[in-house]
Amino acid sequence: MQRMRQMLHLLAIDPDRRAALASWHKARWALPIACCSEWARSGPLVSQWLADRGLAGVLIGQWLGRLSLEADAVDWLAVAHVSALRAVAPAMSWTPIESLRSPDSLLEYQRWAVSQAMCSGELPCVPGPFGKPTWFEEVKTWTCSAVGASDASHVVSYRATPYEVVLGVSTPRGRVYFKGFSSDRASEASITRALSELAPGAFPRTLALEQRSNGSVWWVTEECPGPSLARSVTRDRAARSGAACAHLQQRLADYLSRENGLAMPNVDLGRLSAWGREILRHSYQEEAIGTHFTAITRACEEVGAANVVHSLVPADLHPSNIVVTDDAVRFIDLDEAHIGPSPLAVSILVRRLARAQRSRSAHSMLRNALYSVYERAWSSPCQMAGRWPAFEAVSALLEAYLGWTRVVRKTERGEIYGVLDLAKERTAQRLVETFSAEHSERWDQSKR
């Protein structure tokens, strides 16, 4: 499947001077463009692009995504907060932001996006708690105050949507992370704080947490120093991550058996199965995918029938979100955490690790080692009896479902335009690959 690209149309602004960086071609203006893969973090890329041109800047908004005419990329308006007190490349100049209201842009997307962002004020803005350029300085001041620091020496923007931001903030008192969520995700910070109290060594400590008057959540956590699993994938580090996941899940399961629980959604296997079949039905003739329908139903039923403990299932358990040091394994991101059949979590991790392996045989050895350690790590060993392929298939189905719901939510909010049909088609293609005849054959062989 062809990878999508991100086309970042860089609107670099100096809010104090109401100026933006642009190039002029007679009477027509254009913004610079940077290109990256769909999985790349755009914040560090934008900062590096600016640094290469003698400017210090931070991405403060990735707004107004729109599918390109060729349907091979998504165009984004990437708004960066910079200082205009430095020289810039000869082809570009600082110009009043107001002048970009002119329809005389070289590129139709830039004309559309800037007109959308400049429709209600002197500075660009979009709906959302982090949709105004002023949020950046407010957050930086609040974060420094929360940790008792006088100022931030360096800020890295990892994510900057109108409804979610993630910053790395270096202060004289150390490096911390700020995460800002919209009100519909307010529970995530509280859940992670509760889990960090339940398992202090497994998560970064919460330093400050506040729900603002607009419903958004501002959250600061300590840094987890050390290399991520993604930086160095070895059998030992992967196995230690799997064992730590099992220990954490068992501790939480014991807690849930005594207490009322945490406000996390449950993995609804029936709903997942019905959704997967509906997505396939939208893109393919039913007679061509009958075996895939059967495979989806079968996998969900097998996972549901498995005699395993139900506990924490972080749906975004990525190697970059696991820090592995000599004496500890820590988990730094619990986006979209659910309660469900516990082995789904390590199946998600195994599938993510596959992308980092150079050969199928290397991944197979790592996969087997990780699963073996995970099963033995439980106080009563987790008896999977050949069910791992079913868990891997359902973890892929869960990931696809959550990805689809994100696209729908972003479309409804006006964060992204024109991508629903393509996203549905690509999601269906992924499910066909996951629940193919080849997969079913491997599944049957694992149970013999």
What pLDDT, on the 0 to 100 scale, is given for residue 35?
A: 94
What three-state secondary structure class fits 48?
A: helix
Determine, yes or no, domain membership for 230: no
Same domain, yes or no, for 249 and 206? no
Determine, yes or no, domain membership for 125: no
Confidence class of residue 86 from pLDDT cuts 50, 70 and 90?
low
What pLDDT, on the 0 to 100 scale, is given for residue 67?
A: 96
H/E stretch holding 301: helix 290-305
Q: How far apart are CA 279 and CA 401, in angstroms?
A: 10
Q: What is the mean pLDDT of residues 240-246?
A: 94
Q: Which residues pair with 25 in a beta bridge?
A: 28
Calculate what percentage of the chain has a pLDDT beyond 70: 93
Select from 194, 222, 250 the last residue of a domain. 222
Q: How far apart are CA 47 and CA 36, in angstroms?
A: 13
94, 19 contact by CB (below 8 A): yes
pLDDT at 287 over 80: no
Give phi and psi for 236, each to the nearest 5.
-65, -45
Same domain, yes or no, for 217 and 257? no
Same domain, yes or no, for 71 and 111? yes
Same domain, yes or no, for 321 and 416? yes
Domain count, the chain: 3
What CATH number did the domain enclosing 420 receive? 3.90.1200
pLDDT at 445 over 60: no
| Across 180-194, 213-227, 321-335, least confident range | 180-194
Q: Which residues pair with 59 in a beta bridge?
A: 80
The residue segments making up the domain with residue 293 are 235-446
Same domain, yes or no, for 292 and 390? yes
Return the sign of the alpha-carbon dihedral for residues 288, 291, 293, 296: negative
Same domain, yes or no, for 308 and 357? yes
Select from 222, 244, 269 the last residue of a domain. 222
80, 59 contact by CB (below 8 A): yes
What three-state secondary structure class fits 106?
A: coil
What three-state secondary structure class fits 87?
A: coil
What pLDDT, on the 0 to 100 scale, is given for residue 364?
A: 85
What CATH number did the domain enclosing 158 receive? 3.30.200.20
Select from 184, 199, 222 the last residue of a domain. 222
Query: Average pLDDT over the chain, rounded to whole?
Result: 89
Determine, yes or no, domain membership for 353: yes
What digits encode the pLDDT tens for the residues 262-284?
A: 778 899 999 999 999 999 988 88
- pTM of the prediction? 0.90
Q: What is the mean pLDDT of residues 379-403?
A: 90
pLDDT at 194 over 90: no
Q: What is the mean pLDDT of residues 294-316?
A: 92
Determine, yes or no, domain membership for 228: no
pLDDT at 347 over 90: yes
What pLDDT, on the 0 to 100 scale, is given for residue 166?
A: 96
Q: Measured in whole angstroms, how far is the alpha carbon of residue 45 from the centre of its chain?
A: 16
Determine, yes or no, domain membership for 298: yes
Same domain, yes or no, for 429 and 300? yes
Same domain, yes or no, for 435 and 379? yes
What pLDDT, on the 0 to 100 scale, is given for residue 358?
A: 63
More confident residue, 26 or 272: 272
Determine, yes or no, domain membership for 267: yes
Same domain, yes or no, for 329 and 404? yes
Same domain, yes or no, for 384 and 245? yes
Whose structure tokens read 């290109």? 35
What digits encode the pLDDT tens for the residues 130-173?
A: 999 999 999 999 999 999 998 888 999 999 999 999 999 999 88
What CATH number did the domain enclosing 105 receive? 3.90.79.10
Q: How far apart are CA 56 and CA 440, in angstroms?
A: 53
Determine, yes or no, domain membership for 124: no
Determine, yes or no, domain membership for 91: yes
Calculate what percentage of the chain has a pLDDT beyond 90: 60
Same domain, yes or no, for 77 and 100? yes
What pLDDT, on the 0 to 100 scale, is given for residue 376?
A: 92
Here the tokens at position 260 are 């009322």
What digits encode the pLDDT tens for the residues 41-83?
A: 999 999 999 988 888 899 999 999 999 988 899 999 999 999 7
Same domain, yes or no, for 207 and 248? no
